[in-house]
Structures are given as structure tokens and as C-alpha cells.
């Protein structure tokens, strides 16, 4: 039986966005005219430039500084209180530079997503562009995925691939990937808010209620 989206029959969903820095992916979400409400932007850094961007968009902001807490667990307890104040349907990590404990991840299971600058499961962790260039890969990209306790290995929602060019540096490759991040993260949130995606029974694979795109292939370098 075909999965039927329930968007037309439900209340508009709300999301909370977590950031640590400039928040370019957060800004892409705020400017995407999504079918949901951004309830708040929360940062673990008071000097995160993204907070000012959120405020200019009329979004409530809050700082929960990890430096104010003696350990990761107490920080995450305070962060959860701040998040739950807004009762979000979705928590979106947008450059949130803190590794989350399994207990925190379990609290928001199935409604915590992240964007990562590689084609997962390749190049989890940091310095993804430099590592891709060192390995000589010809295709690189970005991934939106559900967060699990296995770092950067949660169920994949959407990916975008870009060619790696001969004279690329980590900076030029990062800029090319970032443009695709700004495209696919709003798409993933759009699907979530419209109930167009769900996890399978094992919680390991994302099922999408959308038209497939057979024959769409990226080859790099291109064929002659």
C-alpha cells in the first residue's frame, strides 16, 4: 500500500535549530519558505554570528553554553530543557559542533537530523574536504541524515554530489559542497514537515513518498 502523506490533516510542524557558528545552513532553512514554523535557534556559543541572523528573521534565540557545565551530561540536560520549552517536532543541527551522547540522541530519536559535508558513510567526522582530496576521490558531496548514537552514520535522507576538480583546494571544494548543502537541507526539512518521509521498521533506512529519478547519474570526470 502506498504511503500517504498526512500534511493536509495535521497542524503545522515546528522545528528548533541548533548552531555553533555562522549558521549558513540555518539561514538557508529560514529563507526557504518551509511548510513549518521555526520556533527557536539555540547555540552553545554566545558569540555565534548565526544568532544575529536568526534575530533579524524574528526568530527566538537562546544560548546554552557548554562552558557553563562541568560535563557533557549536565550540558545536554540543560540543552534538552531549552529545546523542550518549544515542543518541536524536529530538531535540526546546523553546524552544531558538539558530539551528542547516546542518551540525548535517544531522547529525540526519529526527529533529530544533521547535515554533514561528505557523501556518508564516507568521511565521517572533521576535515572531510581535505581528506577527500588526499584520497583523490572524483566525486564528493554532502548528506542530510537522522542522528543516531553512531556518529555520522544515521539513516540517510538526501545527498548531493559534486565533481572534484583538478585544482581544487579544501576551500574551493568546501564552497562547492556548501552550495549544495543549502539546497538539500531545506528539501529534507520540507519532506519531514509534509510527512513525506519515514523510517523503516528497523529504524535504519529512510523511506520517501516521492517519485524516483531513474537514470540520473553523475560521472566525474565526464565521459567523452
Structural domains of the chain in order of their starting residue, each with its CATH number: 13-108 (3.40.50.170), 115-209 (3.40.50.170)
Answer for the pair 173, 129: CB distance below 8 angstroms, yes or no.
yes
pLDDT computed for residue 219 by the predictor: 87
Who's near 32: CB < 8 A, 6+ residues apart?
Answer: 186, 189, 190
The per-residue pLDDT for 6 is: 45
pLDDT at res. 54: 98
pLDDT reported for residue 216 = 81
Which strand (E) or helix (H) includes residue 106?
helix 102-107
Asked about 140 being catalytic, the answer comes back as: no
pTM of this structure: 0.92
Task: Note the pLDDT of residue 7.
Answer: 42
Query: pLDDT value at position 187?
Result: 97
40 upstream amide cis, omega within 30 of 0: no
**Structure confidence at residue 218 (pLDDT):** 84
Q: Active site residue: 116, 140, 145, 182, which one?
A: 116
Between CA 136 and CA 192 the distance in angstroms is 35
User: What does the pLDDT read at residue 213?
Assistant: 79
Q: Which three cell numbers stand for residue 216?
A: 540520473
Phi, psi of 12 (to 5 degrees): -55, 130
Question: What are the residue ranges in the chain where pLDDT is below 50?
Answer: 1-10
- The pLDDT value recorded for residue 217 is 84
Amino acid at each position: 500500500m502506498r504511503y500517504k502523506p498526512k500534511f493536509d490533516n495535521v497542524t503545522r510542524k515546528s522545528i528548533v535549530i541548533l548552531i555553533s557558528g555562522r549558521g549558513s545552513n540555518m539561514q538557508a532553512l529560514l529563507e526557504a519558505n518551509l511548510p513549518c514554523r521555526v520556533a527557536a535557534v539555540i547555540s552553545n556559543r554566545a558569540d555565534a554570528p548565526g544568532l544575529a541572523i536568526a534575530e533579524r528573521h524574528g526568530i527566538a534565540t537562546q544560548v546554552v553554553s557548554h562552558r557553563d557545565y562541568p560535563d557533557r551530561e549536565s550540558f545536554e540536560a540543560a540543552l534538552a530543557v531549552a529545546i523542550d520549552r518549544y515542543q518541536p517536532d524536529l530538531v535540526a543541527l546546523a553546524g552544531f559542533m558538539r558530539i551528542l551522547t547516546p542518551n540525548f540522541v535517544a531522547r529525540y530519536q526519529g526527529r533529530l537530523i544533521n547535515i554533514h559535508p561528505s557523501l556518508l558513510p564516507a568521511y565521517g567526522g572533521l576535515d572531510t574536504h581535505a581528506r577527500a582530496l588526499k584520497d583523490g576521490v572524483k566525486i564528493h558531496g554532502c548528506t542530510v541524515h537522522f542522528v543516531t548514537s553512531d556518529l555520522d552514520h544515521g539513516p540517510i535522507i538526501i545527498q548531493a554530489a559534486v565533481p572534484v576538480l583538478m585544482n581544487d583546494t579544501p576551500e574551493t571544494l568546501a564552497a562547492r559542497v556548501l552550495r549544495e548543502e543549502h539546497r538539500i537541507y531545506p528539501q529534507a526539512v520540507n519532506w519531514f514537515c509534509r510527512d513525506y518521509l519515514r523510517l523503516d521498521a528497523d529504524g535504519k533506512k529512510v523511506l520517501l513518498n516521492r517519485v524516483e529519478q531513474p537514470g540520473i547519474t553523475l560521472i566525474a570526470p565526464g565521459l567523452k
